[in-house]
Structure formats: C-alpha cells, structure tokens
Structure 1
Amino acid sequence: MSDYVLFQMWGPFRQSLIAGHLFYVEQARKRLLSQFEDIEVEADKAAEDWLQRSSGRFDPDRHDPGDFYEAANDAGIEFYTLLSDMRDQTRLSVVAGMFHEWDKQLRDWLVREIQHWHHGDTAALKVWSADFVQIAEFLESIGWPFRSADYFQILDSCRLVVNVYKHGKGKSLEDLKQKYPEYLDDPFAGSGAPFSSVEYRDHTHLRVSDEQFQAFSDAIVAFWQAVPENIFESKVNEVPDWFGKAILKDRTGHKQASKQ
C-alpha cells in the first residue's frame, strides 16, 4: 500500500530559498553594515573637526588649551557612541528582516503543501496566525524532530531578539533574560557591581554581535537544508489541537456546502 506524501521540498526550490537568504546577508553586509567598519577613525576625525571649528573662539589670554582638547575629545566620544548605537540598531533591523522573511517563507511553504491535500481556508489561516511555539509543535507532529535539532535554539533566540527589538518590554524580554541572556549587554561586566545581574537589564541593552548575526544566518541555512524531501502520512502523529480543529472546521463547512 502506497504511503501518501503530505509535504514535499523540491530540490531546486530548497536551493532558491538558501540562495535568496545568502544574497540578503551578503548585500546587507556590503551595503549597510560595512559603513560602520571604521567608526573609531570617524570619531577621531569628528574630534579634529570640532577642534578646527572651535579654533576661532580660542583666546590664549582667557582660555586653557587643555579645555579645548578635552571638549574635542568629548565630541569624538559622543560621535562614536551615537554611531555605535546606529550600527547596533542597523544590525538588529537586518536580523529582524532576515528572521521575518524566513518565517514567512516557512509558513507559505506549509500552506501551499497543505492545499495539495486539503481544501479550506481555516487551516491555512491558522498556520499563518500560529506563533513560533505552535509551528514548532506542528513540525514535530508531522515527524520532523525540529526542536531537538542544533539550529532550533539559535532560531528560538533569534525570534526573541526580534520580538524584543520590535516591542521592548514584555514576555519576550523576560524569556530572553531566562534563556539567552548573552544578547543583553552588561555595561558593568567584570566590575563585580551589584547591578551587573541580568535582572537589571532591559530592552535598551539588546545587542547582537557580528558573530551572533552570522550564527542566526547559519541556522536558517541549516534549517532549509534539514527540511525532509518528503514527509509521509505514516509519519504523522497526533497533530496539535489548533490545527486539528481547523481541519475539521474546513471539512464541516465543505460538507454543508455540498448539501446545499
């Protein structure tokens, strides 16, 4: 007896998803993140520019040259801090775009595959509205050990980082503190100060390093590479309640429409 294929990942489509993702990462580095590679040099220039602009106000009879050099240094530090913050925010926005694109592509693939063997809008809408935990639960139910894969925790941390970046304080921030505090910068690291504890950090401390950004990217590639080529009906366990109810609602609606 033949075993029906419920979900299929066509090889060229898999490769197109990976290629599109890698293109996004490469171009984001080249066109956006590369602009922040020399912020120390730019900060030094900002200090020099301040000194040059202010030189006309210097009166050797009334001013201490040291004060002017100190003010120029402060201007350079301020410039560096602002540009560093902009770099961090730019990297976070790139991560958010990358994660959202992966999330949409996954749901779109799931829905299109479901529509090969199921008719109705309720199930499709539920897949689009389900949260990350529910999607993970669904993937597990169709025989894909998603949550035990090496890339799962990285994708999960990326999800929380993006949510905190978007919403600030909330449940995702608390989850990030508990599960992945390494994404919350500790301004008192190594000082032994009592305020160094993660409990005192909030959304303003959210940071993603270049290495962590690369890890997010690698996890998405690993995910697409791990999608089973064929997911058979025989591998399906009991589906999550939210999906089962949606399927039944579509089928009930289809039967009622047929009787009319």
Structure 2
Amino acid sequence: MSNYVLFQMWSFHRQTLIKGHQFYVDQARKRVLSQFDNIEEEAEKAAADWLEQNSNRFDPDRHDPSDFYEAAHEASIEFYELLSDMRDQTWLSVVAGMFHQWDKRLREWLVQEIRHWHCGETVIAKVWGADFGKIADLLESLGWEIRSTAYFKALDALRLVVNVYKHGDGNSLNELKKTYPEYLEDRLVGSGLPGTLDLLDHTNLRVSDDQFQAFADAIIAFWRDVPDNVSGNEIAKVPDWFEKAILSDRKSQNKLAFLGYTGGT
C-alpha cells in the first residue's frame, strides 16, 4: 500500500480529547459524586429529624422512650440504605457517561480520518455500529497492539460494567463474572458458602472510587497512545468487516460512475 497517511492524530486534537475527558472526571467528582461524601452523617441527622418530627406524639405515661429511639434508628437505617443505593446508581451513571463520551470521540476520530481518503457511507455506518471487539481489531490492524497494553483490561472491564448497568442480566454479566468479578459486590464473601458468585446478578454491580479512577486513567493512557500517523504501507490487513464495507462502497461508487458515463439514471 502507499505511504499516504490514512489516520492521523494531531497533537492539538489529542490534548483537546484528554482535557475534555479530565474535565468530565473532575466536574463529576466536584458537582455530582461529592454529594455522597457524608451519607453516614446525613443518616444520623435523619434519625434526629425523625425524633423531632414525632416528639409531639410521645406520651411519657403511655410510651417507652426506647421504642421511639428504636424507630428513629430504623428511620436512619432506611435513609442510609436508600441514599447508598442512590450513590451506587449515580456512580454507575457517571461511569457510563464517561465510557460513552470516550467511545463516541474514538469513532468520530476514525470516521473523520476515513473521510479524508474514502467516499461512501457503508464503512462509516459499520464503524459506528461495530462492537468494541471489532473496533479493537481495526486499531490493531493499524499496527497498534492495543490488547497487549496495560490499560486494555480496564477499558474492557469498563465496557462490560456499562453493558450490565444498561441491560441488566445477560452475556455481559456472565463475562463480567468470569473475567472481572471484582465489580460485583458479594456480601456473602468469606461466609464459606460455595458458589456465591453464581448467585450474583446486575443488582450487585458496584464501582468504587479507586476503580472509577482506574477507568479514567485508562482512557487518558489510551488517547496518549494513539499513533501520530498511520500510513497505508503500515497496514498489513484490515479486519474482514472493514474490508467488505470498503469494497461495498467502492462498488457502489463505480456503479454510479458507470451510470453517469452511459447516461443512465
């Protein structure tokens, strides 16, 4: 193939992508996730609020004070559990947003570069519709051995976490159990009961602060690792799905050129 540059990552564009990602992570922590930093204290306040709101119902001649304190404690536990669940769902929502932002920016870049040297919409549609594995195949065909990098496992786990969060039980959950079970909270771990992992479902999905940061760092490492330039002679063979889409577009273009030449409509 020629020395023509087929894919190029300009330094300014690379930095723009990284800065946009870092902005998302920083602002998500500051404006969204920080709201759940003190849920224990808020749960204690919920107990105090319950006592204050129900103090008028207390009759020392009829009621045992311990009953009211127990009810306040139960209100505190319920508040904590509800807020904890909201925190977990918010974390997952932020993680999903981060993944989708990265995924769309990657496909946008691929499509933008392809349009410089190829005419046709079939290959464009295929790039947008390809799953993560196919996109990884395409990137590796450019000479970038992404699957051997330290950050690929984090990106792969991120993909599965988002799929489980979005779709619930299914193939992604099974793959997550098999490959990255650390993202499923097993409350029976250490109980000595066998096969507890098999009992877990999408409701056990959790992402900790450290795991969130690992995902964020993996995306930065990915953008930094995108090759500056990929020439045609550096590509031995593209994936079959990509090659077929390219040939389909070329066939359509040749047909249109032929019809235009012969005067057909």
Task: Tell me which residue corresponds to 2:241.
Answer: 242
Is residue 21 of structure 1 aligned with residue 18 of structure 2? no
Query: Which runs of at least 4 in structure 1 moved beyond 6 Å after TM superposition?
Result: none
Letter in 2 for 1:116: H
C-alpha distance in 2, partners of 1:94/1:138?
28
Is residue 32 of structure 1 aligned with residue 23 of structure 2? no
Matched residue SS, 2:147:
coil
Task: Tell me which residue corresponds to 2:77.
Answer: 77
Task: Tell me which residue corresponds to 2:124.
Answer: 124
CA-CA distance at 1:57 after TM superposition: 1.3
Task: Tell me which residue corresponds to 2:198.
Answer: 199
Q: What residue ranges of structure 2 are gaps of 5+ in the alignment? A: 260-265
Is residue 4 of structure 1 aligned with residue 9 of structure 2? no
CA-CA distance at 1:194 after TM superposition: 3.9
TM-score, L = length of structure 2: 0.95
C-alpha distance in 2, partners of 1:148/1:60?
71
Letter in 2 for 1:222: A
C-alpha distance in 1, partners of 2:2/2:249?
26
CA-CA distance at 1:78 after TM superposition: 0.8
CA-CA distance at 1:190 after TM superposition: 2.3
How do 1:162-177 and structure 2 match up within 5 A? 162-177=162-177
C-alpha distance in 1, partners of 2:188/2:71?
26
How do 1:221-240 and structure 2 match up within 5 A? 221-240=220-239
Greater alpha carbon shift after TM alignment, 66-75 vs 220-229: 66-75
Matched residue SS, 2:60:
coil
Q: How many residues align?
A: 259
C-alpha distance in 2, partners of 1:4/1:47?
69
Greater alpha carbon shift after TM alignment, 232-241 vs 107-116: 232-241
Matched residue SS, 1:120:
coil
Listed one character per residue, the Cα deviations across residues 216-260 of structure 1 (whole Å, up to 9, x for unaligned) are 000000000000001121221221111111000000011111111
- Percentage identity across aligned positions? 65
Greater alpha carbon shift after TM alignment, 232-241 vs 86-95: 232-241
Task: Tell me which residue corresponds to 2:139.
Answer: 139
Letter in 1 for 2:152: F
C-alpha distance in 1, partners of 2:39/2:229?
49
Letter in 2 for 1:104: K
Letter in 2 for 1:209: S
CA-CA distance at 1:172 after TM superposition: 0.6
Matched residue SS, 2:236:
coil
Tell whether the 8 Å contact from 2:154 to 2:214 is kept in structure 1 after alignment.
yes
C-alpha distance in 1, partners of 2:197/2:153?
20
CA-CA distance at 1:2 after TM superposition: 6.8
Q: Note the aligned Cα RMSD (angstroms).
A: 1.2
Letter in 2 for 1:29: R
Greater alpha carbon shift after TM alignment, 219-228 vs 237-246: 237-246
C-alpha distance in 1, partners of 2:163/2:256?
41
Letter in 1 for 2:116: H
Task: Tell me which residue corresponds to 2:105.
Answer: 105
Tell whether the 8 Å contact from 2:2 to 2:233 is kept in structure 1 after alignment.
no
Task: Tell me which residue corresponds to 2:262.
Answer: none
C-alpha distance in 1, partners of 2:194/2:230?
52
Listed one character per residue, the Cα deviations across residues 57-106 of structure 1 (whole Å, up to 9, x for unaligned) are 11222222111111111110111111111111111101101100100000
Greater alpha carbon shift after TM alignment, 1-10 vs 127-136: 1-10
